A and B are shown apart, each in its own frame.
Chain A
Amino acid sequence: MVILREGICPGINEEFIKALQSEDIKTVEDFVSCNPEELAQKCSLSYKALVAVRRVLLAQYTAFPVSGADLYEELLSATAILSTGNPSLDKLLDSGLYTGEITELTGSPGSGKTQVCFSVAVNISHQLKQTVFYIDTKSGMCANRLLQMLQTKTPNMEEQMEALQKIKVFRVFDVFSLLACLQHLRSNDLQKASIGGGSVKALMVDSVSAVLSSMLGGKQNEGMSLLMQVAGELKMIAKDFNIAVLVTNHVTRDGNGHLKAGLGQSWSHVPRTRVLLQRVEDAETSSLRTATLTKSSRQACHLVEEFDLCHWSEEKRTSISGKRKLEERSKP
């Protein structure tokens, strides 16, 4: 709802607004929906002035169409695919995280979502040398763990510090601070980053369900509206700044007992790709996980890949190295 005020555009002064208010027109939408001829006859305003103001308001507030060919050119040059560092996960995601899209990781507690986020962040900051914004809502961010992961990649202290500096952490604990943080990023930091030097290529929110699920349910509409606003902010950030967004979500069971992502039907439309993480069944304490692709616009669904959280960059084991791994595990 955009309220008509004087100064909102040239040509609108106080008498103009008063004349419109006598016809019960207080917002821009009401004004634009009215026929200017009828309005000119009812109020004492000139037809020309009404048409001119209408044109200026439309030019100010509408979104403009872009030709498909131009959009395609822009996308070809701007879209990037960020490898996660883990070949199995990359295969599942069709070579990695795509910029301009939201990818979702779901899984029950302990399935490794935060560890996967860490590994991906470390890979992007160290291997690809790009900045990562990490929004932590569960206090799960642990810089020591990041350092540990970097130490397995390179023994050089300077490189480790450089990579750590590229991961910027924001702590928010409720949905309003999350919205404020996202809006602040959109209007300040991301613009500065894209002009300045280092480019931000990834944004992670771990986890989005921690702040939203407490707002849902009951009879109030506020929770759903906030959910859609968070979704809108994430999508705008992803598209306008060409960033890959990775969010984590919890799981619930549906009517048939199958696992499905949390936050309900309305949220389920938001991510473009969804991966479900699960522990491997018979190994309670191991670091093996399976990832199942449950939603994708590029690959057939229900592809499953297995990987090891501790050995992130290694290929999926073949039968030879499998035996070696078994031997390693049987050691004390």
Chain B
Amino acid sequence: MEFRNYCAKINDMTARVRMAENGAQLVSRLEGRQSLRDIEPSIFPVDGGPGQGDVVEFHGSEGTGKTETLYHLITRCIMPVQSRGLEVAVVFVDTDYHFDMLRLVSVLEGRLAEDCKGGDGSENEPEERVRSCLGRLSVVHCNSSVQLLLTLHYLENTFSSQPSLGLLIIDSISSFYWVDRFNGGESTVCQEANLRKCAELLDRLRRNYGIVIFATTHAIMRNYGSDPGVSEVPGPSSSRRWRSADSVTDFDKPYLCRAWQRIVTHRMLFTKSHVSKDNKQVFSTACTSIMTKGVKRCSFHVMEDGIKFVCDK
């Protein structure tokens, strides 16, 4: 009798707490996060832009423009609505100290200047505008996969309490690949354990809070084992899903754990194209998604103040 009362009391307590948690989730779901579907129609397929809960993987070797594209998308998110932005708060998780704030600010200033040319000149000074935009961005540095996992747990509170937070960027989610692989010893399960937990947590975050996730992965595995030390076959079924995009490059084999492959909804492959006539390097992207058929291709230059698209199809 005593025991049953005790259990009932515990159940009540936990049930109340469970309800309170759901209450916060419910509120942020009802209020809805800002949709990011038309964040950049040039690179995403028609009607296939990133909706709530989508996970986009930016894949490419070094120097192919992934980080530049991220800066472009971040400025689009944090700019105010008057400058054709989305006013969405962004959390940027930087795992390899790659984030260049000065470059982001020069892209932001370029965009703000160009959007303000035709309009009102009596605005706040450009510095104020930049600062108010930057207030919508938070940056976190992680230096190990354990710290990444714990930080994502910590950020869960931030997501549930801030409904204006619509985008989580992880640059890059593959930086701890080699260190984890060595620390895990012989067993693949141990090697992938941390990344699998991160992927499961990200899955829960995107389903419960409807945030969009962008993650970059470095292309470090060759498709054909010409370099015996470096390339190992990480599980053939994971790569079959993405074979519809013709793998032009040697380096686009997916190698992260299966838990991550399962939650990715859009995959964007970045490559360096030709050099155009006026001596500018052209970069190209090929985007595939599980919702649309076919591949959306696009090319761009990297200029002083951000990326400029060359042509859309």
Residues of A within 8 A of B (CB): 1-2, 28-29, 32-33, 37, 40-41, 47, 57-58, 61-69, 71-72, 75, 79, 216-219, 221-225, 227-229, 231-232, 235-236, 238-239, 264-266, 268-270, 272, 295, 297-298, 300-301
Contact = CB atoms under 8 A, between A and B. Distances in A.
Contacts of B220: 264-266
A68 B151 CA distance: 17
A249 B252 CA distance: 25
Contacts of B98: 269
Contacts of A227: 178
B92 to A, nearest CB: 8
Contacts of B10: 40-41, 47
Contacts of A33: 149, 153, 197, 201
A28 B146 contact: yes
Interface residues of B, number: 63
Contacts of A217: 229
20 contacts: A2-B146, A62-B147, A62-B154, A66-B140, A67-B138, A75-B102, A218-B229, A224-B181, A224-B182, A225-B179, A231-B96, A235-B97, A236-B97, A265-B61, A265-B230, A266-B220, A268-B61, A269-B98, A272-B100, A297-B68
A237 to B, nearest CB: 10
B308 to A, nearest CB: 13
Contacts of B135: 67-69
Given A37-B18, A228-B179, A298-B103, A65 B150 contact: no
B37 interface: no
B117 interface: no
B96 A269 contact: yes
A29 B18 contact: no
B69 interface: no
Given A33-B197, A235-B96, A68 B137 contact: yes
B137 A47 contact: no
A226 B134 CA distance: 36
B292 interface: no
Given A62-B154, A64-B140, A298-B103, 20 more contacts: A28-B146, A32-B149, A57-B150, A62-B151, A66-B139, A66-B140, A67-B137, A67-B138, A69-B135, A71-B101, A72-B131, A75-B102, A225-B178, A225-B183, A228-B178, A265-B61, A265-B230, A266-B218, A269-B62, A300-B279
A29 to B, nearest CB: 5
Interface of B: 10, 13-14, 17-18, 61-63, 67-68, 78, 91, 96-98, 100-103, 105, 130-131, 133-143, 146-147, 149-151, 153-155, 158, 175-176, 178-179, 181-183, 194, 197, 201, 218-220, 227-230, 251, 279-281
Nearest to B61: A265
Contacts of A47: 10, 13-14, 17
A2 B194 CA distance: 12
B101 A72 contact: yes
B96 A221 contact: no
